[in-house]
Structure 1
Amino acid sequence: MAVPETRDELLAAIEKTFVQLERDLDRVPLGTVRDPVLDGHAKDTKMSPSDLVAYLIGWNQQVLIWHQRRSAGLPDEFPAAGIKWNQLGALAQRFYSEHETESWDYLREELRDAKASIIELINGYEDDELYGEPWYGKWTMGRMISFNTSSPYVNARSRIRAWLRTGQ
């Protein structure tokens, strides 16, 4: 899929990849949602399908936090409070643990809600605000949103599909 360069392309990419991901998550057997069957986001770790969904929720919510902080005039905290870019494995672990007691259905609904909030956020911006100038480092706002929504949806989908092909 091409990298989005407009609001409409970003919205389309998020919708398309999310629908595809949802279809694949629908195929995960309920008895395996907490089994550590997938390679984790930190080296030499394993995660469950539930952890993978928690990771996606975490990043979607992180995008919303970035925007809330900027709107409130607060300093940026990239990628997250207390985390540096070279500590993304620790951030993934944080996301997993934040959602470790939630049911599969609740996680799925929380992911849908986070995605809906991202869509609402995007709809509040024009193309020039999303793609007209760097927002963080060299990256535009639209690209930062894409990095943490549609791109991870594609990655998650490939992980789930590869695992499902093994017959669990």
Structure 2
Amino acid sequence: MSSISKNKEELSQAIEIAFDKLLTDYVDIPEKYTRRIGVEGNVKNTEISVCDTLAYLIGWGNLVLKWYARKAKKLEVDFPETGYNWNELGQLAQHFYRQYQDSSYKSLLSEFQSTTGQILKLIGSLDDNQLYGKNWYKSYPLGRMIQFNTSSPMKNVRIKVRRFKKAAITAPISETDDDE
């Protein structure tokens, strides 16, 4: 399978595989590490927490669902999000982190699962022509916009989370970690 999905089956499979691999990594991280800053951020030279990576993925997943729902109702869509331009994705990521900053790791994992499930359900309700037969946003078909904002960032986040996991969890634990 190529890295760019060309039909409904490939798109669903790409999301399911990326999601399953990432969820396995997330579940393996002890909760006391999930708010620790140390994961490579989405803005150059920044670091975020594991929880922030979940907020980022949930935020983008919810935007995909919002875009589709608004377009289906023939309403205008502010891409990527109201108040943000494509050249302000770092600020949008910060918005997602703030939005979920008080959520527990368990609730973030649950919402990530739910959002991904809703996206897969949406894909399941559409046919190949609806997903890939015409441009949906500028020169991109809907399927490509979904992939850009689901399986693609999931793969990128997984690399960063695994790097953090290796460095943080295998590193010696300080006394403050035991008190959390």
Deviation at 1:134, TM superposition (A): 1.1
Cross-structure match for 1:8 = 9
Deviation at 1:162, TM superposition (A): 1.3
Distance (whole Å) between structure 1 residues aligned to residue 66 and residue 156 of structure 2: 22
Cross-structure match for 2:86 = 85
Q: How does 1:65-104 map to 2 (within 5 A)?
A: 65-104=66-105
Deviation at 1:92, TM superposition (A): 0.1
Distance (whole Å) between structure 2 residues aligned to residue 158 and residue 52 of structure 1: 11
Most deviating of 150-159 and 37-46: 37-46
Distance (whole Å) between structure 2 residues aligned to residue 117 and residue 150 of structure 1: 14
Please, what TM-score do these two structures have when normalized by structure 1?
A: 0.96
What SS does the corresponding residue of 2:120 show, helix, strand or coil?
A: helix
Distance (whole Å) between structure 1 residues aligned to residue 55 and residue 146 of structure 2: 17
Distance (whole Å) between structure 1 residues aligned to residue 156 and residue 44 of structure 2: 16
Cross-structure match for 1:155 = 156
What SS does the corresponding residue of 2:136 show, helix, strand or coil?
A: strand
Q: How does 1:36-115 map to 2 (within 5 A)?
A: 36-115=37-116
Distance (whole Å) between structure 2 residues aligned to residue 6 and residue 71 of structure 1: 20
Identity fraction in percent: 38
Whichever residue aligns with residue 36 of structure 2, its letter is D
Bigger-Rg structure (1/2): 2
Distance (whole Å) between structure 2 residues aligned to residue 23 and residue 46 of structure 1: 22
Whichever residue aligns with residue 28 of structure 1, its letter is I
Distance (whole Å) between structure 1 residues aligned to residue 131 and residue 110 of structure 2: 27
Deviation at 1:2, TM superposition (A): 2.3
Distance (whole Å) between structure 1 residues aligned to residue 114 and residue 27 of structure 2: 17
Distance (whole Å) between structure 2 residues aligned to residue 112 and residue 29 of structure 1: 18
Whichever residue aligns with residue 52 of structure 1, its letter is T
> What is the aligned length?
168
- Please list every run of 5 or more consecutive structure 2 residues that lacks an aligned counterpart in the other structure: 172-180
Deviations 1:22-65 (A, max 9, x none): 11111222111111111211233221000000000000000000
Alignment RMSD: 1.1
Cross-structure match for 2:147 = 146
What SS does the corresponding residue of 2:14 show, helix, strand or coil?
A: helix
Cross-structure match for 2:133 = 132
Deviation >4 Å, runs of 4+ = none
Whichever residue aligns with residue 38 of structure 2, its letter is V
